[in-house]
Amino acid sequence: MKRYLTTTVAATALALMLGFAPASAEERDPNAKPGGDIVITYKDDVSTLDPAIGYDWQNWSMIKSLFDGLMDYEPGTTTLRPELAESYEISPDGTVFTFKLRPGVKFHNGREMTAEDVKYTLDRVVDPKTQSPGAGFFASIKGFDEVTGGSATSLSGVTVVDPSTIKIELSRPDATFLHVMALNFAHVVPKEEVEKYGADFGKNPVGTGAYKLAEWTLGQRLVFEKNADYWNKGLPYLDKITFEVGQEPVVALLRLQKGEVDVPGDGIPPAKFQEVMADPAQKERVVEGGQLHTGYITMNTNVAPFDNVKVRQAMNMAINKDRVVQLINNRAVPANQPLPPSMPGYSKDYKGYAYDPAAAKALLAEAGFPEGFETELFAMNTDPNPRIAQAIQQDLAAIGVKANIQSLAQANVIAAGGEKEGAPMIWSGGMGWIADFPDPSNFYGPILGCGGAVPGGWNWSWYCNEDLDKKAAEADSIVDPAKAEERYKMWSGIYEKIMEDAPWVPVFNEQRFTMRSPRMAGADKLYVDPVHIPINYDYVYVTDVQ
């Protein structure tokens, strides 16, 4: 018994994984000057700034500047680092995460943040009454099912050890859990303010972030003011950010040229894109970056002839992806695998299926379809998707496949995809997968795994490879950050195997183009930050302050 005890303790001590150094060691831009204000425009009104609810690309970055989570990413990258946590420990089996909170962090109302707030935040986001679109991300926490089922109001796996320590127990090892804790949904909220405002907390947000909300005039503007008490000293650089809403992107571009706007939040309107890129003075102010997005064609493996792997492979060779990219003014890069290039785990060496209509036709003949066949291609009915579907249709016609286009409203396409034999082929444009967090597993479960191949699911290929599901579970149980590379390699292998079975034709990865005024400065990567869209408000600055 005694021997048993000592060995366990030794093993535990050895296996304890400590979080990395606090964020204060990060590099700061030596040229950055504090002060000044900027103007950002948007077409749509901001929906909500409640971190448990906000889930569109417009409010995502705004919420990140008003609130903080236990984890975050180094600015402009996909590298995790502790944020409101000072450090963390993960148990050897990967199921217990203990976070030590940063001392002296205050909410905008002046109260100090404690472990109780973290627990309240997690209970709240999972509570069905909150109706959070992010609740599902926390499914690995112990007690999740009881709270969503209504038999408990508090997650049994989340324990406040002391005011500055919180322990979270999982029901299974989850390598993505640190990413989950960096999601907006896990950003810490103060109980008293949430209760004070009730359903209107999203209009009266109070967090710990670099900025606080100073003004919100519905339909007109939001003003963010620098949080002078921010725990990360020296940040943010800007004194004020004004978000003007209700501005058409074309008008915003005109105002940018007149110097009235610093960043058009909706980007460069498609109609003006070529004009901007052809003008050197304007192009110079455009920052291009990757996006965690893939546009793909699904082939329903339940429907003949797509139950034949050779047919699916032939489809992969038949599509001229360069031409599809040209159709959307080169605002994307051709894809050869499910993961986008900026995602960890992307296989740089993987060649994919080259565009080769002759080989595709030969493979079709080998599969028993020398004359081709007739099928249906579903696509969303908003531009540019019908145009892209037509390009795909032409490419398929060249190898003898007659694809009839079903151009439908988004909800109808999604419904058809979720039926077992509903849609033979779907072009994913307008519904393509954008990752919630930069981890390769995020592209698997719901869209390529067996779990998503259910009625109403997102796995529109109905591709289910139980062997790969096992490998995925195995990869995700590698929780040790030191073994991250090994884990990414496993994921690369999984996606390469998927491409052998070819349930998808990956077509392109959308690129982001952010335009900024000449006075805005800071590293380019801050303007195409993978998690802060459009820009990382906390780290950018202006050059015209004294």
Partner 1 sequence: MIAYIIRRLIQSALILLGVSIITFALLYLLPADPVRQIAGRSATPQTVENIRQQLGLDQPFFIQYWRYLTNLLSGDFGRSYIQRSEVSELIVARLPASLLLMVGAIICELAIGLSMGLVAAVKRGSVTDQTLMVTSFVGVSAPQFVVGLLLLYVFAVQLGWFPIGGYGTWRHLVLPSLTLGILGAGWYARMMRSSMIDVLRQDYIRTARAKGLQRGTILLRHAFPNAILPVVAMIGIDIGIFMGGIVVVESVFGWPGIGQLAWQAIQRVDIPIIMGVTLVSACAIVLGNLLADIVAPFIDPRIKLR
Judged by the rule CB under 8 A, the positions of this chain that interact with partner 1 are 43-45, 47-48, 50, 53, 55, 128-129, 131, 133-137, 139, 148-150, 199-200, 202-203, 217-220, 244-248, 250-251, 254-255, 258, 260, 408-412, 414-415, 436, 446, 456, 458
Looking at beta carbons only, is 227 or 385 nearer to partner 1? 385
**Nearer to partner 1 by C-beta: 234 or 246?**
246
Write down the least CB distance from residue 303 to partner 1, Å: 22
Q: What number of residues does the chain have?
A: 546
- Minimum CB distance to partner 1, residue 483 (Å): 26
Closer to partner 1 at the Cβ: 136 or 368?
136
Shortest Å distance, C-beta 135 to partner 1: 6
Judged by DSSP in three states, 532 sits in coil
Handedness of CA 175, 119, 80, 90 (dihedral sign): negative
Work out how close the CB of 102 gets to partner 1 at its nearest, in angstroms, rounded to a whole number: 28
Tally of CA atoms within 13 A in the half-sphere of 33 that contains its CB: 11
A 10 A CB-CB count for 250 gives: 15
Query: Tokens 């939001």 map to which residue?
Result: 222
In this structure, are residues 508 and 55 in contact, taking their beta carbons and an 8 Å threshold?
no
Beta bridge partners of 520: 542
Number of C-beta neighbours around residue 289 at 10 A: 16
CB of 456 to partner 1, least distance (A): 7
Task: Say how far residue 532 (Cα) sits from the centre of its chain.
Answer: 10
Query: Which lies closer to partner 1 via its Cβ, residue 103 or residue 128?
Result: 128
CB of 294 to partner 1, least distance (A): 15
CA distances from 86 to 89, 101, 170, 544 (A): 11, 5, 21, 35
In this structure, are strands 504-515 and 332-334 parallel, antiparallel, or unpaired?
antiparallel
Toward partner 1, which CB reaches closer, 162 or 275? 275
Could you tell me the smallest distance in angstroms from the CB atom of residue 201 to partner 1? 10
Task: Select 180 or 314, whichever has its Cβ closest to partner 1.
Answer: 180
- 83 vs 244 by CB, closer to partner 1: 244
Beta strands in 218-285 (DSSP E): 221-226, 240-245, 263-264
Please, what is the minimum distance in Å from the beta carbon of residue 384 to partner 1? 16
Cα gap 56→262, rounded to integer Å: 21
d(CA 300, CA 418): 10
CA distance 123 to 490: 33
Name the residue nearer to partner 1 (CB basis): 200 or 366: 200
**One-letter-per-residue 3-state SS of 189-206:** CCHHHHHHHHHHHHHCCC
**For residues 30 and 149, which CB has a smaller minimum distance to partner 1 in the complex?**
149
**In the complex, least distance from residue 244 CB atom to partner 1, rounded to whole angstroms:** 7
Query: Rounded to whole angstroms, how far apart are CA atoms 448 and 500?
Result: 13
What are the backbone angles phi and psi of residue 76, rounded to the nearest 5°? 80, 5
